[in-house]
């Protein structure tokens, strides 16, 4: 694709901190290369803001390779912007045309309070993982990878679920602010494997209990999460989460 | 895990929605089936016989309690979930494009359900209340078919019924397959089958229900 430069208008959510009321600020950004990533474009704008003595726009980012799950941003009405199965850091400016106005907002969810500008606090996800998203094993020598036979399909499904990077796009997209795609993926990746099987009951019960405490909404199966997930996590993981929860919740003898 | 804990958890509440949803789906088959007796065009003789059986047989009267329990649970749970879900996003997006990732009817179950609730208030006041009054006052057998002809002779009532049926279609079209996902069934072979059956079911039920007021109003049957 041919390289081109563009001038854009950016409408960005600015919010000093969690307590203050935020508002949109409009910034012109000029001479942006179509080969830049979206975050590089914000870098350019931030350098300009710093030079002018203004506060730069705060945003989350880390690997900039689409694998860490740090970047967020609701761009022009879609989580991670207009491209499918793509994170904000891998969204390139060729997705936009000269003269476009781009609206950038933070994830909006009661469970993801805004820290500053476009940065939200996603530690509610960490607390869900702490509630059961692990397996308990004694440390020691690594076990031979092929010592336990695993059905190919289960291994594949677990791997697909494990592709979740925990970015929160599912929550940001869902009209109910539900975290069930995230929790579904995290429950599935362990429930499908023999290593995760011994704790699968307590895991799903505890993770859902924590999810409910955090103030996420309830899934109504619109499947918007799957459509916007940068890793293409399937909603079949939500069905598996439901099945695991019903099985555990209806059969456990523990009070 | 206590029962209370289970049924107040997010997935427990979804389970109530899905389970009562399937129960109501089954009820609609009976409802549409019995009402379709009017299409026999025998001056409502068969239909009135069926209606008499449904309102007098004690097994049916007993099942009716279950029907209302299921319906009320579905309504209360649905409304409460809708309000709770609204709270999960206190600040709305300034610019949102939900049509890029989901279908309007899947996002509108709360509104469609509320329309259906309003429809039900009208529907029960038209037919259910009179049937019960006749049952307990017991002067003469209640002619439900006559009542249908009377109610559907009014044009705006027919239009309101059609609005109700259209809402029902979209509610069922999403709800049918959604209920199975909620109960934990998502399968490469079965899910496409469930979706097809759901579509055919919603179409047949809603066409039958839409035809009833229209056919009576236009006097195709009498």
Q: Residue ranges of the domains in chain B?
A: 3-217
Please state which architecture CATH assigns to domain A123-138+149-251. Answer: Orthogonal Bundle (1.10)
Q: How far is B70 from chain A (nearest CA, A)?
A: 19
In a mutational test of the A interface, the residue from B102, B105, B110, B113 whose CB has the highest number of chain A CBs within 10 Å is B102
pLDDT for residue A138 is more than 70? yes
Q: How far is B88 from chain A (nearest CA, A)?
A: 5
In a mutational test of the A interface, the residue from B4, B22, B86, B89 whose CB has the highest number of chain A CBs within 10 Å is B89
Q: What is the DSSP letter of A176?
A: T
Chain A positions touching B181 (Cβ under 8 A) are: 221, 235, 238-239, 242
CATH class of A5-105: alpha beta
Q: What's the confidence (pLDDT) of residue B45?
A: 93
Which two three-digit tokens encode residue B72?
A: 């009320």
Question: Above 0.90 for ipTM, yes or no?
Answer: yes
Which two three-digit tokens encode residue A49?
A: 């803001």
> Tens-of-pLDDT digits for all 222 residues of chain B?
889 999 999 999 999 999 999 999 999 999 999 999 999 999 999 999 999 899 889 999 999 999 999 999 999 999 999 999 999 999 999 999 999 999 999 999 999 999 999 999 999 999 988 888 877 877 677 789 999 999 999 999 999 999 999 999 999 999 999 999 999 999 999 999 999 999 999 999 999 999 999 999 999 987
Contact assignment for A239 to B102 by CB distance below 8 Å? no
Contact assignment for A77 to B100 by CB distance below 8 Å? yes
Contacts of B128 (CB under 8 A, 6+ apart): none
Helices (H) and strands (E) in chain A, counts: 8, 7
Considering only alpha carbons, which residue of chain A is nearest residue B92? A108
CATH class of B3-217: mainly alpha
- The fraction of chain A above a pLDDT of 70, given in percent, is 100
Residues of chain A with CATH 3.10.20.30: 5-105
pLDDT for residue A162 is more than 80? yes
Q: How far is A141 from chain B (nearest CA, A)?
A: 36
In a mutational test of the B interface, the residue from A103, A209, A242, A253 whose CB has the highest number of chain B CBs within 10 Å is A242
Q: What angle do CA A90, A94, A97 make, to 5 degrees?
A: 135
β partners of residue A75: A78, A104
Contact assignment for A249 to B9 by CB distance below 8 Å? yes
Tens of pLDDT along A179-209? 999 999 999 999 999 999 999 999 999 999 9
Chain B positions touching A217 (Cβ under 8 A) are: 84-85, 87-89
Q: Which of A78, A240, A243 sits opposite B97 (nearest CB)?
A: A78
Considering only alpha carbons, which residue of chain A is nearest residue B101? A224
C-alpha span between A51 and A58 (Å, rounded):
16
Q: How far is A250 from chain B (nearest CA, A)?
A: 8
Contact assignment for B1 to A205 by CB distance below 8 Å? yes
Contact B22, B70 (CB under 8 A): no
Q: What's the confidence (pLDDT) of residue B58?
A: 92
- Closest to B18 measured CA to CA, from A229, A243, A251: A243
Q: Which of A109, A236, A239 sits opposite B89 (nearest CB)?
A: A109
Chain A positions touching B15 (Cβ under 8 A) are: 242, 246
Q: What's the confidence (pLDDT) of residue B139?
A: 66
- Closest to B210 measured CA to CA, from B167, B176, B146: B167
Alpha-helical segments (H) within A116-214: 123-130, 152-162, 169-173, 180-191, 200-213
Which two three-digit tokens encode residue B191?
A: 């899910």
pLDDT for residue A1 is more than 80? no
**Coil, helix or strand at residue A109:** strand
Mean pLDDT of the region A3-8: 96
Contact A192, A204 (CB under 8 A): no
Q: How far is A144 from chain B (nearest CA, A)?
A: 32
C-alpha span between A233 and B212 (Å, rounded):
44
pLDDT band at A225 (very low <50, low <70, confident <90, very high): very high
Contact assignment for B106 to A74 by CB distance below 8 Å? no
Tens of pLDDT along A83-134? 999 999 999 999 999 999 999 999 999 999 999 999 999 999 999 999 999 9
Q: Does B3 touch chain A (CB under 8 A)?
A: no
Q: Which of A212, A239, A248 sits opposite B10 (nearest CB)?
A: A212
Q: Which of B10, B90, B91 sits opposite A218 (nearest CB)?
A: B10
Chain A positions touching B12 (Cβ under 8 A) are: 245, 249
C-alpha span between B146 and B143 (Å, rounded):
5
In a mutational test of the B interface, the residue from A175, A180, A229, A241 whose CB has the highest number of chain B CBs within 10 Å is A175
Residues of chain A with CATH 1.10.1060.10: 123-138+149-251
């Amino acid at each position: 694709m041919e390289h081109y430069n563009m001038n854009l208008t950016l409408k960005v959510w600015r919010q000093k901190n969690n307590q203050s009321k935020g508002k949109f600020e409009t910034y012109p950004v000029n001479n942006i290369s179509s080969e830049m990533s979206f975050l590089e474009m914000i870098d350019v704008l931030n350098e300009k803001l710093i030079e002018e003595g203004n506060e730069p726009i705060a945003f989350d980012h880390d690997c900039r390779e689409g694998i860490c799950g740090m970047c967020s941003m609701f761009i022009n009405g879609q989580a991670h912007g207009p491209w499918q199965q793509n994170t904000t850091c891998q969204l390139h400016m060729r997705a936009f045309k000269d003269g476009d106005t781009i609206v950038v907002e933070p994830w909006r969810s009661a469970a993801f309070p805004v820290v500053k500008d476009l940065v939200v606090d996603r530690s509610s996800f960490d607390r869900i993982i702490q509630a059961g998203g692990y397996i308990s094993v004694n440390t020691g020598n690594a076990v031979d990878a092929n010592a336990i036979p695993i059905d190919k399909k289960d291994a594949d499904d677990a791997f697909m679920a494990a592709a979740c990077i925990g970015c929160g796009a599912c929550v940001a997209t869902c009209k109910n602010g539900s975290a069930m795609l995230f929790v579904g993926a995290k429950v599935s990746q362990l429930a499908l494997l023999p290593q995760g099987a011994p704790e699968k009951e307590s895991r799903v019960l505890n993770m859902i209990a924590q999810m409910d405490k955090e103030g996420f909404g309830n899934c109504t199966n619109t499947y918007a999460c799957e459509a916007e997930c940068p890793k293409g996590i399937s909603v079949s993981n939500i069905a598996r989460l439901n099945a695991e929860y019903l099985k555990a919740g209806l059969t456990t003898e523990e009070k | 895990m206590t029962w209370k804990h289970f049924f107040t958890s997010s997935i427990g509440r979804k389970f109530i929605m899905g389970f009562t949803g399937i129960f109501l789906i089954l009820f609609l088959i009976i409802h549409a089936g019995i009402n379709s007796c009017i299409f026999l065009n025998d001056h409502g003789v068969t239909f009135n016989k069926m209606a008499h059986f449904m309102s007098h047989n004690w097994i049916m009267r007993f099942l009716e309690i279950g029907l209302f329990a299921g319906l009320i649970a579905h309504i209360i749970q649905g409304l409460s979930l809708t309000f709770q879900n609204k709270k999960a996003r206190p600040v709305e997006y300034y610019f949102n494009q939900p049509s890029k990732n989901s279908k309007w009817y899947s996002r509108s179950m709360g509104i469609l359900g509320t329309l259906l609730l309003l429809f039900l208030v009208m529907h029960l006041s038209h037919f259910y209340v009179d049937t019960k009054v006749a049952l307990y006052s017991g002067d003469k057998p209640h002619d439900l078919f006559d009542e249908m002809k009377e109610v559907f002779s009014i044009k705006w009532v027919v239009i309101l019924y059609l609005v109700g049926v259209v809402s029902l279609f979209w509610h069922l079209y999403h709800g049918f397959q959604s209920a199975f996902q909620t109960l934990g069934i998502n399968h490469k072979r079965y899910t496409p089958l469930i979706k097809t059956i759901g579509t055919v079911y919603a179409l047949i039920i809603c066409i039958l229900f839409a035809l009833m007021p229209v056919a009576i109003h236009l006097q195709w049957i009498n």
